[in-house]
Structure 1
Amino acid sequence: MSDKLGFEELRLKYKDILSKAFSTNNIDLLDSFSKNTNEVDRKAAMDQAFRDKLLELLIENPDTLESYVSFCIESCRRHMVTPTMPVVLLGDIFDALTLNKCEKLFEYVEKGVNIWKEELFFVACKNNLLRMCNDLLRRLSRSQNTVFCGRILLFLAKFFPFSERSGLNIVSEFNLENVTEFGGDNSSTLKDALDEEMVVDEDNSKLTIDYSLYCRFWSLQDFFRNPNTCYNKIQWKTFVAHSGSVLAAFSSYKLEAVELQKSKLNRLKAVNSDVEMQESNKEQHYFAKFLTNQKLLELQLSDSNFRRCVLIQFLILFQYLTSAVKFKMEAQELKSVQVDWIKETTALIYRLLGETPPDGKKFAECVKCILHREEYWNSWKNDGCPEFQKPKAPVSVDSDEVKKTRKRRRPVGDIINEYRNQDKFYMGNNELTKLWNLCPDNLVACRTKERDFMPSLESYMLSEGGAGGARRTTSGGWGWRALRLLARRSPHFFVHTNNPIGRLPDYLDDMVKRVARDSAANAAAANANGDTNTNHNDKAVKQMISPAELDAVSTKLTEWKKLAVKLGYKPDEIQYFETENATDEARAKNMLQLWFDDDEDASVENLLYIMEGLKLVEACEALKNAK
């Protein structure tokens, strides 16, 4: 096709080929025909061809409109027309159809919300979609087309993200045009119908509706539509007085069961000529705007839905008055007396909601939950309505080795059953499981002879010298045992001091130094009295091991390497014991002899304490029996 063809010629040719392609549902035909044309000229002519073809379909075949829009969407994805074209076609269709047909066609728009949110269409079409929906709303009646209006608003809520500025009331404005008129007689026909239809049983009626209560009730709507008037002192007094009268009427006039209300409610519905009355046992009619005739008020107060609506209006107003709103002025702040009144009235309203059938208590809890969630939205608006973003997914390492080594965690129930079959317990932690299964009866395990020991204060506190002891005080397990031992064997533990304990490690460091001083003082006193040898003071105090005990413990010490590491021997020293001695018994005996000869803290008590910690039970029993 030549590029010299004008716009009108291209439009006519595209319209002909578009008709053939749509009738045969062959979009490839349209695509191949338009490839040889300049893109700018092609899209402009193709857009007009789509609109011209739409006019023919509206007259000749209106049942194919949805398919035609879908055909246009696919053309957009192939970059044959501009992305706004599907919404432009929908706008033309809605302008040409009646409201009943528009309501049916709007289902197609609702179902395609994911299409409009695609990257290709969203940026280009969002303003056109908003304009199309607003044009529809202008044609609709809020009282007669309530459901259709709600569907349009729900579609916009689904289509636009939460942070879209066009859908947010950023500066917290109120709809001051929503005026509720009352007090006048605008319908003689309605009044005559009420005079004929409404018959009230005086025995069952507990509330007298006078003109004063009627005016007070409907004047509250001015406060509900413009809550800022409550910050005026005079208006606040008026609001409190009117609210007190209305809530007192609600409190004194209890609602009957739903089954007993039907006769009265049906009379209220019969006089509402603006609403289509299609009675059904399961259907509950919704009135978009209240009727304000005085003779209707008693019937309205008998309607649980009407009463709930008014009470919820109170709660919404109270939440606004007591919440921190970014765009409130400094003078718009309640006093403590006003806040207390709101708290008392809120409690009364929730009580009235709980007494309103059906399912009053459940309904009141739902309202309380919804209003609590509204506080989060209020905080979000105060923060400037930041955009909601999904958290970023963690960076995954695409490595075959990682995938191979990644094991599926076993269900906890299977692990518990496996341990139960072995008459054991699974505690969820390896160390706890091991500890719990040492003995079936924990009390019996606590009374065993292996646990009946207590090291000396000096051997425990000074086991690693001054520097080592200072380092050990930072260990939680060592510190816990040290405090228990000090409470049993040290006079310093219960001595009152004027210096408070700042940190536990500092206190333990101080106690290590005191025990060291006391031990040195005792050794000096014993030396002065001649109770010990001059050159072997420490060995006399620390109870040296006898040859019989050494032979007995060496025989049972099969895991001597574990003990050697605990006693502080290095790997090369352990290798020396292993190469110099032929048997494990000889190696253990050699190691213990050197330890008792070289280590100042070596004693039978310390050896027993260390082996108990390493669970060398047989060696401990042999050493105890050899004493």
Structure 2
Amino acid sequence: MNEMAVIDSATENLFTTRLSELLRRAREWKRSTSIDPPLQVSNLLDEGQGVLGSLQADKETSEIEIAAKSIFYSTLASYDISDPLFVTVWDLLDILQYCSDRDLCSQQLVLLLIEELFDGLSLTGCRYAFTFLESRRETLITPQSQNKNLVILRICNELLRRLSRAEDPVFCGRVYIFLFQSFPLGDRSSVNLRGNFHVENVTTFEEYLGEITPHPEDSMEVDAKEEVNEDIQVAEKDGVPATMEAAKAKPSTMDINALYPVFWSLQNFFSDPPRLFDTENFKRFKDGLEATLAKFKEVPKVIQTVGSALLTTAQAPLDGDHDEFASASNPKYLTSLDLFKLELSDLAFQRHILVQALIMVDFLLTLTEKSKSKPYYQSAQKAMQYSFTLNEEDTEWALGIKMSIANYLQDGPDGKFYYRMVDTVLSRDKNWVRWKMANCKSFQRTKVPTKDYVDSKSGAQRAVGNKKAPKPGRTSSSLQFLSNTDVHNGLSPLRHNEKFEKPSPQIYATQIRTIDLDLDMADSEEEKRKLLDTKSSRTWRGLRLASQGQLKSFDSIEHGKGLEKLPPVTLSTEAIGDERAPTASEDRDSVPQEQHPSVEEQRADQQDQIMADSAI
């Protein structure tokens, strides 16, 4: 047993020596002491020699990993991350990644060492070391495996747990971007399959337990209301309807002190939407949201600009070059009563709250009877199917408040652009929710096999290639069948006037009205599509004919309407000969009529010629 331990220790020392030799060559080859550029390990190897040299034939994965960890931990203990010699760690990780690509060590070894590295560094050091993950991302995640994905999730989640989103939002964003780039879009690791809400996000505020003396501004509002009431009473005495005076009065809103608890209590509903399934809570939510929106419309707007004081909307520049909301990103607002009045006037704060309200209203609209009857909702998992159904009255309120919020968000500087951005994000989020309700079905298409691609490509080339004209087939020497005078089989059907005379636009208009009736009775989408295509064809032909004689009547056709709106034309008997549609022979050229044989003569000549050919 001791002899085996001595042999293993000697082998590990050999691997340690080999890795140390590669690191020495790396310092000579790579002059930079930073993370980038990545180390080109192939430049460190002798011609025809593997990365482990003569040890590669007798390699043991565990022994290589033990040797690598020995060098890794000794380097961490010897140098600080700000020391130039700390580049040895980055070089070692590049060498180990080169070995893992060739199955000389486990594929997740590099990620495990990086996880150990982050655990021993401060946040400042982690911010610098995370650059290694970003610059080697494609190499580290290829090929993907379950073991690798778990280590990446642990590293990023641990970093996010240590970081403060308010104090270091940039680094948090880098971590999230790395996650999004490392995992497929349809991966379930980032999906809340159970539809749980963030109920731990509790908003605390000062409780209103006693009477508070109103501010002077609030007293003025109360006095104004009393004056309005007195004016209404005087108007009634003078015989003026009170409703007219009340209409002139400005609608009152809650004062700051009364609105404070109502406003911040909305956050409890935003973090736990199922609380709205209770009737009393839903009424409180409706009243609070309406009071909040009314107060936002009343207070003067203030815009925060980077590196400057607060500006009102009247002082804000209009050229659109300012970056007014760059410093207004606050994931958690202060709830002090002293700051409440200032927060209400902040336009960025108002938009933050109203976007939360839009998300909540969209959630409520997914619980209407119509939405719950959709197939994707019926097939959703039980955790996302709620027994609560929004009634018609509450549905109308939700649609109305959503429209009011949308209109308000479009006001102010860059309001149109801001609302379009919000609406786009919410629309995509609806599709994301539907995808989760469908149990996250994979939407990635499999790669087309090479054989199928080659076959389809060659088939397309043959289809569009030059083709030889087919040889004319042999025809029957007898044309006796043309002499058949039967009405259904001979030439008689071709002698009707509608076969060689242009129809009138009114005929097409009649056909269009018939098609409209058929559309109302159509049962399938395919039948409707065919009828619409026929209607479009008839309309175009009729308008083309009408343009030859009724062009002046086109002004009476409404935009989007067709031939059926064309006024009918009544012709006298004398004018029929002048206004009739030209025949095929007249339309061919402008030679006078007497220079051409009549229609009856043409028919006789054609019949004689046919009989002569058949006799031959």
TM-score bracket, shorter-length normalisation: 0.5 to 0.7
1:303 aligns to what?
346
2:572 aligns to what?
none
Distance 1:86 1:260 in 2: 42
Q: How does 1:48-87 map to 2 (within 5 A)?
A: 48-58=66-76, 59-60=78-79, 61-87=85-111
The answer to whether residue 279 in structure 2 is matched with residue 233 in structure 1 is yes
The answer to whether residue 365 in structure 2 is matched with residue 322 in structure 1 is yes
Secondary structure, aligned partner of 1:35: helix
CA contact (8 A) 1:137 1:149 kept: yes
Q: How does 1:471-486 map to 2 (within 5 A)?
A: 482=499
Shift in Å, 1:487: 9.2
Distance 1:469 1:258 in 2: 88
Deviation per CA, 1:26-46: give whole Å up to 9, x if none.
Answer: 355642232232x5xx10011
Shift in Å, 1:400: 11
After superposing the two structures, state which structure 1 stretch, 312-321 or 122-131, moved more.
Answer: 122-131
CA contact (8 A) 1:14 1:45 kept: yes
Q: How does 1:205-604 map to 2 (within 5 A)?
A: 210-256=256-302, 263-264=309-310, 284-323=327-366, 324=372, 326=380, 327-355=383-411, 357-390=412-445, 392-393=447-448, 395-397=452-454, 465=486, 468=489, 482=499, 594-595=612-613
Shift in Å, 1:360: 0.9
CA contact (8 A) 1:162 1:388 kept: no
CA contact (8 A) 2:205 2:335 kept: yes
The answer to whether residue 115 in structure 2 is matched with residue 91 in structure 1 is yes
1:34 aligns to what?
55
The residue type equivalent to 2:427 in the other structure is: H
CA contact (8 A) 1:175 1:225 kept: yes
1:15 aligns to what?
16
Secondary structure, aligned partner of 1:332: coil
CA contact (8 A) 1:103 1:148 kept: yes
The residue type equivalent to 2:271 in the other structure is: R
Deviation per CA, 1:451-478: give whole Å up to 9, x if none.
Answer: xxxxxxxxxx9978566479x99xxx99
Distance 1:173 1:241 in 2: 26
Deviation per CA, 1:508-529: give whole Å up to 9, x if none.
Answer: xxxxxxxxxxxxxxxxxxxxxx
Distance 1:364 1:131 in 2: 36
The residue type equivalent to 2:433 in the other structure is: N
Q: Cα gap change, 1:282/1:380 in structure 2, threshold over 3 Å: closer, same or farther?
A: closer
Secondary structure, aligned partner of 1:36: helix
Distance 2:164 2:393 in 1: 43
1:583 aligns to what?
none
Shift in Å, 1:144: 2.2
After superposing the two structures, state which structure 1 stretch, 329-338 or 61-70, moved more.
Answer: 61-70
CA contact (8 A) 1:116 1:159 kept: no
Distance 2:179 2:360 in 1: 26
The residue type equivalent to 2:16 in the other structure is: K
Q: Cα gap change, 1:400/1:247 in structure 2, threshold over 3 Å: closer, same or farther?
A: closer
Q: Cα gap change, 1:593/1:235 in structure 2, threshold over 3 Å: closer, same or farther?
A: closer
Shift in Å, 1:332: 1.6
Distance 2:329 2:457 in 1: 61
CA contact (8 A) 1:69 1:86 kept: yes
Deviation per CA, 1:569-627: give whole Å up to 9, x if none.
Answer: xxxxxxxxxxxxxxxxxxxx9x75633759xxxxxxxxxxxxxxxxxxxxxxxxxxxxx
Shift in Å, 1:481: 5.7
Structure 1 stretches lacking a partner, 5+ long = 186-198, 267-279, 410-460, 495-499, 504-540, 551-566, 568-588, 599-627
Q: Cα gap change, 1:265/1:169 in structure 2, threshold over 3 Å: closer, same or farther?
A: farther
Q: Cα gap change, 1:217/1:146 in structure 2, threshold over 3 Å: closer, same or farther?
A: same
CA contact (8 A) 2:61 2:104 kept: yes
Q: Cα gap change, 1:148/1:5 in structure 2, threshold over 3 Å: closer, same or farther?
A: same
Match of 1:163 among 159, 177, 186: 186
Q: How does 1:170-209 map to 2 (within 5 A)?
A: 170-183=193-206
Distance 1:386 1:399 in 2: 28
Shift in Å, 1:362: 1.8
The residue type equivalent to 1:245 in the other structure is: A
CA contact (8 A) 1:207 1:253 kept: no
Shift in Å, 1:136: 1.8
CA RMSD of aligned residues (A): 4.7
After superposing the two structures, state which structure 1 stretch, 307-316 or 131-140, moved more.
Answer: 131-140
The residue type equivalent to 2:74 in the other structure is: E
Distance 1:393 1:63 in 2: 44
The answer to whether residue 177 in structure 2 is matched with residue 154 in structure 1 is yes
2:64 aligns to what?
46
CA contact (8 A) 1:146 1:288 kept: no
Q: Cα gap change, 1:108/1:260 in structure 2, threshold over 3 Å: closer, same or farther?
A: closer
Distance 2:298 2:454 in 1: 70
Shift in Å, 1:166: 2.2
The residue type equivalent to 1:175 in the other structure is: H
CA contact (8 A) 1:116 1:122 kept: no
CA contact (8 A) 1:209 1:298 kept: no
Q: How does 1:89-128 map to 2 (within 5 A)?
A: 89-119=113-143, 121-128=144-151
CA contact (8 A) 2:302 2:311 kept: no
Shift in Å, 1:63: 3.0
Distance 2:386 2:341 in 1: 41
Q: Cα gap change, 1:480/1:253 in structure 2, threshold over 3 Å: closer, same or farther?
A: farther
The residue type equivalent to 1:117 in the other structure is: I
Deviation per CA, 1:425-459: give whole Å up to 9, x if none.
Answer: xxxxxxxxxxxxxxxxxxxxxxxxxxxxxxxxxxx
Secondary structure, aligned partner of 2:389: coil
Distance 1:160 1:92 in 2: 22
Q: Cα gap change, 1:285/1:100 in structure 2, threshold over 3 Å: closer, same or farther?
A: farther
Shift in Å, 1:158: 1.9
Distance 2:447 2:426 in 1: 31
Q: Cα gap change, 1:542/1:144 in structure 2, threshold over 3 Å: closer, same or farther?
A: closer
Shift in Å, 1:128: 1.0
The residue type equivalent to 1:23 in the other structure is: R
2:82 aligns to what?
none
1:581 aligns to what?
none
CA contact (8 A) 1:11 1:46 kept: yes
Deviation per CA, 1:491-518: give whole Å up to 9, x if none.
Answer: xx99xxxxx9999xxxxxxxxxxxxxxx
Distance 1:97 1:261 in 2: 33
The residue type equivalent to 1:172 in the other structure is: G
CA contact (8 A) 1:174 1:225 kept: yes
Q: Figure out how many residues of one structure are paired with residues of the other and give that number.
A: 423
Distance 2:190 2:438 in 1: 16
Q: Cα gap change, 1:463/1:235 in structure 2, threshold over 3 Å: closer, same or farther?
A: farther
The answer to whether residue 161 in structure 2 is matched with residue 138 in structure 1 is yes
Distance 2:495 2:62 in 1: 85
Q: How does 1:606-617 map to 2 (within 5 A)?
A: none
Shift in Å, 1:285: 4.7
CA contact (8 A) 1:265 1:303 kept: no
Residue identity (%): 23
Distance 2:57 2:399 in 1: 74
Distance 2:272 2:284 in 1: 14
The residue type equivalent to 1:130 in the other structure is: L
CA contact (8 A) 1:83 1:125 kept: yes
Q: Cα gap change, 1:265/1:132 in structure 2, threshold over 3 Å: closer, same or farther?
A: farther
Q: Cα gap change, 1:213/1:542 in structure 2, threshold over 3 Å: closer, same or farther?
A: closer
Distance 2:389 2:460 in 1: 61
CA contact (8 A) 1:258 1:358 kept: no
Secondary structure, aligned partner of 1:180: coil
Q: Cα gap change, 1:379/1:592 in structure 2, threshold over 3 Å: closer, same or farther?
A: same
